[in-house]
Structure 1
């Protein structure tokens, strides 16, 4: 019978990758709680209309990348390609958005039909952070400060912050006309993808990866030169906040993001260490999206970070913590040892909830169990045989030092191990 393999672009996460995944998510949750954020859990499947209305029907995501299907009621459903739209839908539906400040985060898989490559998969995991009810620039700055703190906690280096302003919807619409006129005058120089975007989403031409268009894009009219006065002031205040916080940044006038709902602040954290997929965190302000989806006007700002890209960066930079080793491995040899051995293991887990305690299951010789104990990376082996059960003792054997082993009574085991671990 033929072996069944995983779907292309949908990968298993195990070993060092799993350690890196847990490190990213646990560290992120701890940082977010420092800043007063609360978790929200969102469905993986939403009505297709939600993404068409929010992301934009002429975006690459909606046009080419979504996993969309009809269910048995012939309703069009979509596996979520991003998290913000679903979070906005949730806060509207649950009455969380209007006249309230909400600071929320979520985590989970997203789905896009793309060509798989390092850092870009068809199923990928994101951490999303959203703030509702704050129009002031300090909310934008705090999110960037939060992300900067996260990189520090993760131990990541060589990340560059790029920022831009997309202005108001009105100023961006006026700029769009200016940009279209510019590219129409150079139509013969555009590639096929840019020609398609010229009539659907011309700002995305500024973000092209085609090196042949680099000069043409560099000479295009700059959005920053066509912002409304309020957006200019907002952007200047953002830069002031970042300078006060000591966060270095680069103004990238071609940073436009691929989603239609952004306005004013947009930002990305990028690296050159992951090849083409250099963006590890991106977001911005989307003040019109709540109303666009059916809620009352509510300002909002947020970001998403790709967990697989951060995992890859952690591994490449060699900062994945060593968390797989056991602290204690229990070697159980004999006919009478399994039941008291399990009782002892549970009592130790009660006494030392911070320790990793592995009990040998499935039997095996004394020699084979000690090989497993050594391979586990444990600091100590606890050896229990029939004689020890009869005498209600256990052998405590250090595995990483030259110290001599000890024979300890069961009722003194917790105290002995507490002393041993305090000296490590």
Structure 2
């Protein structure tokens, strides 16, 4: 069917989706146990592998949302080359955007995973204890959905922030330090391999059953040349975005922007609130741009000094990861030592190139097995749908207090005028 470029990740092009004997939804070889939460592009489920019994998280992507994001990026970013810059009339603007979207549709036809190929290319090369690992990618063409099978982090997000009040339950000083340093190591590993996350926030920091923090969600991530770590365009969650990202046509240090976001997380870990917030995106961005920091506990001098340096509005003078490593709050005045950078980044990965992204999976010419699998899947789904519709009609009839109900072979419900069973023969 498809040639897979990485042996550690399985790609299922025509994933069968149905239900098992226990009535659980099944995606490929994974039975859906329950819902874990919602993301920006779909739902995350707890699933169990039917053969091994191992538990995973199944991340759902609705392709329509991914296409919308791609269209927004195409229309607003400033890529290099002809047709770049903000969209404007003429062949260099809207024409180029239309051609790009048509090209994307063509890529989808050839590669069902093209909408998340950058995330797949990045995920398959990461080997770090504080990064969520990807095991399998599944395509459900019938429902226009993609699924990623990833590490199960049983305890969920490290901190849940109420979107209305921008507040949360603060962590203990010990937990705030532990989880911050784990996130710092993960970020150091990413940056060492020329990867910028671009959406660092507590929602994307998940805890396993043994309290190991793992950074997840590489949907906004990007790679860069090691001689130039600049990224283009704004991305991420407004309350966690560095102020330089809100500038029109920006080209900024992606690593410095990630450090800003991590600083916002540390502030929230400690004080249980976000330093910059508002009732709308515009108000949030205005608050970030104003850059006025207030510390609920002025006595925590070392922590507050670190936060001031991480939340420096100037990315050129913002503290670096190497400097954070040596900060007294991180080292606990010399009594705590992080693993060395060499040890932390020992699982080296080769640079992620455009070729890696373009060849996540490579189609071959025999398409008939896929066509047959999809046709079989549609028949299977139709039978399940008809069964559920028939059961729903039966339930509706019973809820109306009918004393006699006859369910015909075509799924329709018949009843007599007086509520008694209709003994007349069924119409042919």
TM-score category (smaller protein): under 0.3
Structure ranking higher in helix proportion:
1
Give the greater-gyration-radius structure (CA): 1
TM-score, normalised relative to structure 2 = 0.25
